[in-house]
């Protein structure tokens, strides 16, 4: 079970929240991964009552969580931990009324909103003293449109949060590449025995990408770094394979008299 937390979901009425995040959170509820004291505070600009938002969440789960009808008990728990708050991001008055959560527990600010609002949110959180050592912030793709805009967003995030408090995620990172790898594997049996190294390179390449992303926002440098790493891995593998083939071939050739 996860530690007790408060999840503050900005963009709580948006497509990402209703189609992806709420079903994912509800899935964790069905397997009892969420602590009973944890809360999910959904924030939006629409003027909705608590009951209105619960109906939106329920409709979302009915549509996007196939086993919803078989998990009524989980739904009863889940809806009791959800609350809704209306907030105008630009309004200091709304922010002053935005109650902070228990400072002793982990508070996750999840920005399921367009990236052009990241700066405003991070600044308001800082200005209104809502950031604590137990705070975390999660930002969704795309993080800017180019190097300069990504650097600007990261600068504003870092002004209020330490690097180990910032989580940058991309649900579809490498989606097409993964599909291409699967096609390569099953359409070309010649690569079947080599698949373990391909898997290793793909996983290791993802780790290298993550580490480089922490150190620089230069997209070109990151791509070059990952490409060099993958080439070195494949080169090492093929050198090893060539050596094994040579040894096997030598054993198969009869010794000359």
User: pLDDT tens per residue, the chain (257 residues)?
Assistant: 678 899 999 999 999 899 999 999 999 999 999 999 999 999 999 999 999 999 999 999 999 998 899 999 999 999 999 999 999 988 888 898 887 666 678 999 999 998 888 989 999 999 998 999 999 999 987 787 778 888 888 898 998 899 999 998 866 555 566 566 666 666 766 655 555 555 555 555 555 555 555 555 566 666 666 667 667 666 666 665 555 545 554 555 455 54
pLDDT number for residue 257 = 44
Location of structure tokens 């009951």: 51
pLDDT number for residue 107 = 92
Question: What's the fold here for domain 5-169?
Answer: Rossmann fold (3.40.50)
Contacts of 41 (CB under 8 A, 6+ apart): 6, 7, 8, 9, 83, 84, 85, 101
**Closest by CA position to 85, among listed 61, 53, 107:** 53
* pTM for this predicted structure: 0.68
State the distance between the two ends of the chain, measured CA to CA, in whole angstroms.
Answer: 71
Cα 163 from Cα 41, distance rounded (Å): 24
pLDDT number for residue 105 = 84
Give CATH 3.40.50.720 domain extents, the chain.
5-169
pLDDT number for residue 17 = 92
């Amino acid at each position: 079970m996860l530690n007790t937390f408060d999840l503050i979901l900005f963009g709580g009425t948006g497509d990402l929240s209703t189609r992806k995040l709420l079903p994912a959170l509800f899935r964790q509820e069905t397997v009892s991964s969420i602590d009973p004291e944890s809360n999910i505070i959904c924030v939006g600009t629409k003027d909705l009552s608590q009951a209105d938002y619960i109906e939106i969440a329920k409709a979302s789960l009915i549509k996007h969580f196939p086993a919803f009808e078989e998990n009524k008990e989980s739904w009863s728990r889940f809806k009791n931990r959800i609350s809704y708050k209306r907030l105008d991001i630009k309004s200091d008055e709304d922010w002053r009324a935005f109650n902070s959560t228990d400072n002793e527990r982990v508070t996750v600010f999840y920005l399921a909103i367009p990236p052009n609002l990241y700066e405003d949110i991070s600044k308001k959180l800082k200005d209104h003293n809502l950031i604590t050592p137990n705070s975390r912030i999660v930002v969704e793709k795309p993080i800017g449109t180019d190097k300069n805009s990504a650097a600007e967003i990261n600068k504003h995030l870092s002004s209020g949060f330490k690097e180990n408090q910032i989580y940058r995620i991309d649900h579809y990172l490498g989606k097409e590449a993964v599909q291409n790898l699967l096609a390569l594997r099953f359409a070309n049996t010649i690569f079947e025995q080599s698949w373990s190294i391909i898997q290793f390179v793909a996983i290791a390449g993802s780790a290298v990408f993550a580490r480089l992303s922490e150190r620089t926002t230069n997209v070109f440098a990151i791509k070059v770094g990952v490409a060099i790493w993958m080439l070195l891995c494949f080169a090492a593998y093929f050198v090893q394979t060539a050596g094994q083939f040579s040894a096997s071939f030598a054993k198969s050739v009869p010794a000359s008299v």
